[in-house]
Amino acid sequence: MLTIELHFPHTQDHYGPPCVQPTDNLLLGVSVVADSCNHISLTRNEWEQVAIDAKANYLNIEIICSDNSEHRKRVDTRTSTVSNLILPTWSEVESREYLPWTESRIVIDTAFKKEDDSFQYLISKIGLQNSKS
């Protein structure tokens, strides 16, 4: 499986051209993981449409941190691995528009979990969902 991590600021609340490479890979039969902040339904729908257009399966996964102080600590102490990417401040995170999901998804709350525990939870949920299809 090919994993593509997309880390780029969106413009006018949609991704547009950055969806092209994942679409091309899906059309070639290559798996794609798009890692992005989809805080509004427009961007969520765009990624879903990429999969639909390529006749590929898709799965929505929402990662949350329900503990506000832990979330703030993570935002305040993280560093970027992408050159010239300016990370949002805690104030910007708090003021960002966020529309609740209406789509089916797996939700992983990382507030009180280690990375490996969150990963194992995800693997178990994917296995459960795949067995139903």
Q: Would you state the pLDDT for residue 92?
A: 93
Q: Would you state the pLDDT for residue 20?
A: 63
Give the three-state DSSP class for 63.
Answer: strand
**61-64/106-109 β-pairing:** parallel
Q: Would you state the pLDDT for residue 47?
A: 83
Mean pLDDT in order along the chain per 10 residues (133 residues): 40 51 81 79 84 87 94 94 90 90 91 92 78 44
* Count, residues in the chain: 133
Q: How far apart are the C-alpha atoms of 63 and 84, rounded to whole Å? A: 24
Give the three-state DSSP class for 95.
Answer: helix
pTM as predicted: 0.72
Where do the domains of the chain lie?
17-132
Q: Would you state the pLDDT for residue 128?
A: 57
Is 66:109 a contact under the CB 8 Å cutoff? yes
